[in-house]
Structure 1
Amino acid sequence: MGDHTLGIDTDSFPKIKDAKIDILGVGSLNSIKNYPFFIDVIKKVVEKRPDLNVEIIGSGNESSKIRSLIKSHNLNEHITLTGELSRDNVLQKMSMSKILLHTSKYESFGYVFSEALYSGMRIVSFDVGVSQKLPEWKVCNSEESFVANCLNLLSNENPERKRVLLYDTDFTLKAYLTLYHE
């Protein structure tokens, strides 16, 4: 039986594979997720990394707008829109990806963060959800810092991709008990 940690069943995660995807975006294609900013960051990263391979998983009411931005920035050969995938397929993609680029300006807890870290990914995001300054997680506040952190993480060609468990069961239980007794 796997460890269930804040909704994460560690047994459901595939083995970490060779990273074929440099940068992955996961989430609904809507205004909250801020994908126009994501595409601006990718455009600048591609200037230094012309071989960049990016995938965006998700669907939503901004699909056509995002597709148009990708085309207008000449990023069709760099960014693949996969559409919506099952959770198992998302975890498969994460297991073969280097960086989760999360450009949303708002996130509640953000299970995607725990899933990405446990999949061996690095994260580049705003200070949202449960963001933490970790070696594997770069918290940014400007487009320049997003671009710089993506390039920096990509420049280490063979980083050890290891699982990071954001919160273990003991932490979670203590947090709930503290809330309960307040």
Structure 2
Amino acid sequence: MTKGRVAFAVPGDLTTLTGGYIYDRRVMQELRDLGWQVDHIALPGGFPDPSTDEMAEALRLLRDLPPDCPVIVDGLALGALTPAGVRDIRAPVIALVHHPLAKESGLSPERQKALFDSERANLSGVAHVLVPSPHTAEILTTKYGVPEDRIAIAKPGIDQPKGQSQPVTPPLILSVGIQLPRKGHDVLLRALGQITDLDWRAIIVGAALDADFSDHLRTLLQSENLADRVTLAGQVAQEPLAALYQQASIFALATRYEGYGIVFDEALVHGLPIVTCDAGAVADTVPKGAGRLVPPDQPDAFAAALRGLLTDEKARAACAATSAMIGKTRPGWRDTAVIFANVLKQHFSEPRQVKA
């Protein structure tokens, strides 16, 4: 029996293989399996930097929703919508904030402030806010003024792997993250350039969403003499990516900020030692003993952590064992969707109070 109708508004292509899109897609499917009627509202793909026409179209789609249909709006769009336009939405708005837009790397001070101001204004008027981590909840409470009682934490689910670990020789260092400055692949390449005396190869998986940054990565491959040892694989489908996790010996992501980081859970369920940076929610996601956390933007420290795990088999095995143990305790996507459902029950058929 259908329990109720909810709209889920997401900008761009819902099938995109990034953590945020995977999260949205899986929650939508699980809500349907729980009996909810979920309408996907495909917002224009230009967010968080929409054109004038894209902004107008997004607001039209959201304003057309009836007042008895709550709408979950992905933060990639919500934080960049004009506050005046958001106030005109009749449906109860529930925000899904993967991480604040102003936390993206490489923004000018003016753009960062504009995103902070619009996101703060829009969050002040929503019915509820869903976030993937305690870290993001704390940021929204302390920096964006969202009351604690209007925030629910819905950690991402994870699918337990079907196959067994089959590490290849030489050891494979796997990194998974879209090619944007925030993911720190440039730091990783500089770190790898410092350990070429060791035997390893590396694969960086992730769609090239920033052409200039992707060009920079290819330049680094040459300048660090890594072209024959590191592969920029681009976007990889689910099954080949699962095979790479099984073949890897170390997972490495030199991220500058994460609101959660689903790829870390992927590494944990595959029992991989993790080398990453103590940035954002990473310390909450990657437990002590599962790997090495270093400060962001420090290639020397990252290289030392990689070297330590590559040269010390006992340390690597200990991290792998802790990683696998923690991975078995991670929630599934049904657990994530139940938290969404509980929030929706509070607001289902509740008209939004439009400000004058």
TM-score when normalising by structure 1: 0.80
Q: CA deviation at 1:157?
A: 4.0
Give 3-state SS (helix, strand or coil) of 1:120's partner: coil
**Whole-angstrom distance in 1 between the partners of 2:325 and 2:236:** 23
Q: Is the 1:56–1:82 contact (alpha carbons within 8 Å) kept by the matching residues of 2? A: yes
Q: Which residue of 2 aligns with 1:164?
A: 325
Residue 84 of structure 1 is aligned with which of 225, 229, 235? 235
**Whole-angstrom distance in 2 between the partners of 1:85 and 1:133:** 27
**Whole-angstrom distance in 1 between the partners of 2:255 and 2:292:** 14
**Whole-angstrom distance in 1 between the partners of 2:265 and 2:227:** 29
Give 3-state SS (helix, strand or coil) of 2:175's partner: strand
Q: Is the 2:158–2:330 contact (alpha carbons within 8 Å) kept by the matching residues of 1? A: no
Deviation per CA, 1:73-94: give whole Å up to 9, x if none.
2111111111210122222101
**Whole-angstrom distance in 2 between the partners of 1:82 and 1:164:** 29
Q: Is the 1:114–1:165 contact (alpha carbons within 8 Å) kept by the matching residues of 2? A: no
Deviation per CA, 1:139-172: give whole Å up to 9, x if none.
1013332111111111134754442334444xx7
**Whole-angstrom distance in 2 between the partners of 1:74 and 1:147:** 15
**Whole-angstrom distance in 2 between the partners of 1:102 and 1:93:** 15
Give 3-state SS (helix, strand or coil) of 2:195's partner: helix
Deviates more, 1:87-96 or 1:102-111: 87-96
Aligned-partner residue type, residue 148 of structure 1:
A
Q: Does 1:56 align with 2:56?
A: no
The 1:127/1:74 distance shift into structure 2, 3 A limit, reads same
Q: Which residue of 2 aligns with 1:18?
A: 167
Aligned-partner residue type, residue 14 of structure 1:
G
TM-score when normalising by structure 2: 0.43
The 1:108/1:154 distance shift into structure 2, 3 A limit, reads same
Q: Is the 1:133–1:139 contact (alpha carbons within 8 Å) kept by the matching residues of 2? A: no
The 1:86/1:145 distance shift into structure 2, 3 A limit, reads same
**Whole-angstrom distance in 2 between the partners of 1:133 and 1:148:** 19
Q: Is the 2:203–2:230 contact (alpha carbons within 8 Å) kept by the matching residues of 1? A: yes
Q: Does 1:32 align with 2:186?
A: no
The 1:52/1:168 distance shift into structure 2, 3 A limit, reads closer
**Whole-angstrom distance in 2 between the partners of 1:102 and 1:42:** 12
The 1:168/1:76 distance shift into structure 2, 3 A limit, reads closer
Residue 138 of structure 1 is aligned with which of 276, 289, 292? 292
Gaps in structure 2 of 5+ consecutive residues: 1-154, 344-356
Give 3-state SS (helix, strand or coil) of 2:326's partner: coil
Deviates more, 1:88-97 or 1:126-135: 126-135
Percent of aligned positions with the same letter in both sequences? 23
Give 3-state SS (helix, strand or coil) of 1:93's partner: helix
Give 3-state SS (helix, strand or coil) of 1:39's partner: helix
Q: CA deviation at 1:59?
A: 2.2
Q: CA deviation at 1:133?
A: 4.7
Aligned-partner residue type, residue 137 of structure 1:
G
Q: Which residue of 2 aligns with 1:7?
A: 157
Aligned-partner residue type, residue 166 of structure 2:
K
Q: Is the 1:27–1:57 contact (alpha carbons within 8 Å) kept by the matching residues of 2? A: yes
* Bigger relative contact order, structure 1 or 2 (CA pairs below 8 A, ≥6 apart): 1
Q: Is the 2:167–2:249 contact (alpha carbons within 8 Å) kept by the matching residues of 1? A: no
Larger radius of gyration: 2
Q: Does 1:100 align with 2:251?
A: yes
Deviation per CA, 1:101-142: give whole Å up to 9, x if none.
111110111110111011121111111324245222211013
**Whole-angstrom distance in 2 between the partners of 1:109 and 1:23:** 21
Residue 221 of structure 2 is aligned with which of 46, 70, 73? 70
Deviates more, 1:154-163 or 1:58-67: 154-163
Q: Is the 1:55–1:82 contact (alpha carbons within 8 Å) kept by the matching residues of 2? A: yes
**Whole-angstrom distance in 2 between the partners of 1:123 and 1:37:** 16
Q: CA deviation at 1:38?
A: 1.0
